[in-house]
Amino acid sequence: MVGRVIAAPSLTVQGLTKVYGPLRAVDDLSFEVRPGAVTGFLGPNGAGKTTTLRMLLGLARASSGTALVGDRPYVDHPTPTRVVGAALEATGFHPGRTGLGHLRVYAPQAGVPDSRCHELLELVGIADAANRRVGNYSMGMRQRLGLATALLGDPPCLVLDEPTNGLDPEGIRWLRTLLRHFAGEGRTVLVSSHLLGEVQNTVDDVVVIARGRLVHASSLAGMADLASPATYVVTPSPDALAELVRQHGWNAQPHEHGTMIDGVGTAEVGAAAFAAGVELHQLTPQGTDLEDVFFRLTSGSADGAPAETPTAGAPANLGSVR
Amino acid sequence: MKAALRSEFRKLFSTRIWWILLVGMVGYLGFIGVTFGFSITASSTTTDSGSPALGGAEAAKALYGFVSSIGYVFPLVIGSLMVTTEFRHKTITQTLLAEPRRGVFLAAKLLASVPVGILFGLAGTATIVAAGAPVLAISGDGAYLSDPDVLLVLLFDVVVTALWAVLGASFGLLVTQQVAAIVLILAFTQFVEPVARVVLGSIDSLAGLASYLPGGAADSLVGASFFAELGTGDLLPRWGGALVFLGYIAVFATLGRLTTLRRDVG
């Protein structure tokens, strides 16, 4: 795409905290969302994602800390919807208003003409339903209308809360293409989700929170590095295998009928066993993938225990995931 | 601010409730204009009993004043709906995203309700004249449509209806629960206030208080009151009615600003 390059501001969250009585819904959260990339804002339900976004957008007041769009808070931008387009899950639509009517309501404050509303309905694929009342829209159509509303002011930043909810797989793919395109233009895109899988193929960076606290922030590749391989082997000569494990300094435990070797892939184990002439009856990859890393990072969220700091080679603590 | 106002008008006119309420108001005041027109003129012709007679210009003013004293529930409800609908359907989130300055949001709501109230006032006044004037002319002492005092009543019918809409909007800011707001408005306008005005009006030492109720203040501003004509309470001077009424708006709006608009929004 011979695109225009948009100079978009970063989103900067610094020491952001929201206290509801005894509950610290967001707890000293700091992260930055850079322009030109899609950042996934991930965490289980109730982790504080939406509360964080509401504070970022001036809908909720922070107990302490700051959330900035560029150099100032959202509310201090003169025409904020021309800077940040946001679609929050909690946002509603008047069921008696048409989709077009809804966009026209918010067009004046974004400073755009009605023609922009038509364009956007076209872009999000609900132009046919422009004059139907939103009360008759499906969940997916509402998501699309919410996205169109966010895009009204052609904002350089996009903040979308669980935008894949209610979208069918085709819709999710369409959204991915759109968001990648926006990031490619240089825009700042922040997308929250409680499901890593739904945004895994969309995001460049990840910010993972649990119980209101930051547990991980890196590129997606950086998070993938936390995944650790493991290999399950079954051998008729356990002594030879034990010797092999000892020679290579692997970390192995008995597991079911065989042995689990952590931190090593099947290729490495297979090659070593072949070279040492150790007979193997089974050689199976048992490692953790990105999803496991995500669960491990955010686990314990239900009982309030602190998240473990992941260490390479440690088995995924899948047992505690609820 | 201009953008916020345009947004408000688009909100109201992109749903159906405004014309449903407008049709309701026209129908109701048309009915009231005819029936009360007959009952007022009937009572004015049988005034031997010593009860204060309603005749001449006073009858015309009382009848034309019904736009406020009876029709006021419609602008109150439309004003409150302009605010409570946002909370009921959670469009408040998008609204505050578009205009995060909550003082501007509040001002836009109150200001936008003025022309809406004027629209209701014009429709209501036209209706009461269309329905009531012929009755007054035929079975009473005349329609008095060229009497300057009567014309002032018609003018203030429109002004007061606009103020009722603003009061409704400021009340909606305080009671954002749509159903609760409507129930409270109906209970107050259809029961609490009329009873209070009659009761206060019948107690000599408290009679003056009745015109400090919203309806009493509005009647004072209109310059005509069915209740006053019945001898249940004196009216304030026009400027006094205006001050009291604006006071109610200021109190509700301030309380709304300090409660509802300080809260976090989902």
Nearest CA in chain A to B84: A94
pLDDT tens per residue across span B60-71:
888 998 998 889
Q: Do B97 and A57 touch (CB under 8 A)?
A: yes
B 9-38 → A contacts, CB under 8 A: 10-11, 14-17
Listed residue (A149, A160, A318) closest to A227, CA to CA? A318
pLDDT of residue A197: 85
What DSSP designation does B210 have? G
Instruction: Please report, for residues B76, B170, B184, B213, the alpha-carbon distance to residue B188 in angstroms, rounded to integers and kept in the order given.
Output: 11, 16, 6, 11
Pairing of strands A37-42, A23-33: unpaired
pLDDT of residue A304: 40
Q: How confident is the model at residue A130 (pLDDT cuts 50, 70, 90)?
A: very high
d(CA B211, CA B201): 9
d(CA A207, CA A219): 9
pLDDT of residue B44: 53
Q: How confident is the model at residue A193 (pLDDT cuts 50, 70, 90)?
A: very high
Reduce the DSSP state of residue B5 to 3 states and report it.
helix
pLDDT tens per residue across span B89-118:
999 999 999 999 999 999 999 999 999 999
Q: Do B14 and A149 touch (CB under 8 A)?
A: no
d(CA A261, CA A272): 13
Nearest CA in chain B to A75: B100
Helix (H) or strand (E) holding A104: helix A99-110
The share of chain A scoring above pLDDT 90, in percent, equals 66
pLDDT tens per residue across span B5-31:
999 999 999 999 999 999 999 999 999
Question: In the A/B pair of chains, how many CB contacts fall below 8 A?
Answer: 86
Bridge partners of residue A192, in order along the sequence: A41, A161
Contacts of B11 in chain A (CB under 8 A): 94, 105
pLDDT of residue A316: 37
d(CA B251, CA A58): 26
Of A57, A93, A105, the CB nearest to B10: A105
Which pair of tokens denotes residue B134?
Answer: 């012929």
Measured in residues, chain B has a length of: 266
Spatial CB neighbours of A82, under 8 Å, sequence gap ≥ 6: A110, A111, A153, A154, A155
Average pLDDT, chain B: 89
pLDDT at A321 over 60: no
Q: Mean per-residue pLDDT for A268-274?
A: 91
CB A180 within 8 A of CB A4: no
Q: Do B94 and A91 touch (CB under 8 A)?
A: yes
CB B78 within 8 A of CB B18: yes
Contacts of B99 in chain A (CB under 8 A): 109
Nearest CA in chain A to B101: A75
Of B2, B7, B89, the CB nearest to A93: B89
d(CA A203, CA A217): 12
Helix (H) or strand (E) holding A30: strand A23-33
pLDDT tens per residue across span A238-270:
899 999 999 998 988 888 888 999 888 888 899
Q: How close A280 gets to chain B, by Cα (Å)?
A: 58
Instruction: Label each residue of B151-180 as H, E or C.
Output: HHHHHHHHHHHHHHHHHHHHHHHHCCCHHH
Q: How close A81 gets to chain B, by Cα (Å)?
A: 6
- Give the residue ranges of DSSP H helices in chain B: 2-13, 17-45, 56-64, 66-69, 73-88, 92-98, 102-139, 148-174, 178-187, 193-202, 214-222, 226-229, 238-258
Listed residue (A157, A154, A158) closest to A115, CA to CA? A154
pLDDT tens per residue across span B37-60:
888 777 655 444 444 456 778 888
pLDDT of residue B201: 79
CB B112 within 8 A of CB B5: yes
